[in-house]
Amino acid sequence: MQTYIKSYQFIHDRIQLYKIFSYSSRGVPGLEVVGFGSHNKHIKEKIVYISKLKNISIPNKKFTICLDQTFNNVLVAKEAFNFELPVSILFWSMVGVVNFSNLNKCYASGFYEMNGEVKTNYFSKIQEEINEKEDSLILNKEQIRNGIRGISVESILTSML
């Protein structure tokens, strides 16, 4: 199985767009996160921690999640934590607890507090970037308003199988 999700960061006064792809295989079971520079291990461990906090059962498969650096090569280390949300949604989709068939039509950016609460990022400039596309933003429900094609992260997380 393979899929991807899109993400965004507000860096140097502009929106930077990214693709994060994943696949599973029958290799040594576990989660491998690559492409985020020195933050690979942090993102992986945070996703494992939040998965345990949410009592998510992880199948005995190898899952690989990778930031596609050919899509956009600007990555600022202080913003790396904002990839926690898209990576977790992608991972949970791969393990089968998030039932979401069209992740490649979604943009997500955000992070988790230690208690499992998620904080999403919304920058008005992202709307300009995706207006021409039929993509949606994954946002906290209070950030969704008229003119924003959004999906609430709360609805995604509460519908976990």
CA distance 103 to 114: 25
For the segment 131-138, the average pLDDT, to the nearest whole number, is: 83
- Tell me which residue range forms the domain holding 42: 2-158
Q: Count of CB atoms within 10 A of residue 2's CB?
A: 10
Q: How many helices (H) and strands (E) does the chain have?
A: 4, 9
Mean pLDDT check: name the lowest of 39-48, 68-77, 109-118.
68-77
Give the 3-state secondary structure of residue 99.
coil
Is residue 63's pLDDT more than 90? yes
Alpha-helical segments (H) within 26-113: 40-53, 84-95
What are the residues facing 33 on neighbouring strands? Answer: 65
Q: What is the CATH number of the domain that holds 140?
A: 3.30.230.10
Mean pLDDT check: name the lowest of 47-51, 63-67, 111-115, 157-161.
157-161
CA distance 46 to 151: 23
Q: How many domains does the chain have?
A: 1
For the segment 25-50, the average pLDDT, to the nearest whole number, is: 91
Is residue 68's pLDDT more than 70? yes
Convert the pLDDT of each residue in 80-93 to its tens digit: 889 999 999 999 99
Helices 84-95, 40-53: inter-axial angle, 10-degree rounding:
60
Return the pLDDT at 50: 93
